[in-house]
Amino acid sequence: QVQLVESGGGLVQAGGSLRLSCAASGRTFSTYAMAWFRQAPGKEREFVAVVSYSVARTYYANSVKGRFTISRDNAKNTVYLQMNSLNPEDTAVYYCAADPIGFTTARANYDYWGQGTQVTVSS
């Protein structure tokens, strides 16, 4: 069982940066792939980025590639999302999620979810 708590969201102007954190409980955190998803009003939840349990692999949605960086610190049971060059299209609730089996972008494969943190980018 893994419990996830996101933090770090807020209001930022276009071109600005934010760093999201996701603190996980559970001794098996280091064996899970961790990802960030986001959901804008009226839209489906979409994949943003994923990092493998060993930190050896990362993968990004095309819409954030080159602007966002996912990382994790297994000693602190925390995963991060550094977001730079934000634009209004990045406005959404951001969720972290844990996948105990694989390294995937598929929402259905993630067993554990946080409650989300709001990111709002003003123009």
Distance CA 27, CA 36 (A): 20
Give me 75's structure tokens.
């000693």
- Give residue 8's pLDDT: 98
Percent of the chain with pLDDT over 90: 85
User: Any idea how long the chain is?
Assistant: 123
The region, left, alpha or beta by phi > 0 then psi within -120 to 50, assigned to residue 55 is left
Average pLDDT, the chain: 94
Q: What is the pLDDT of residues 35-72, one digit of tens each?
A: 999 999 999 999 999 999 887 799 999 999 999 999 99
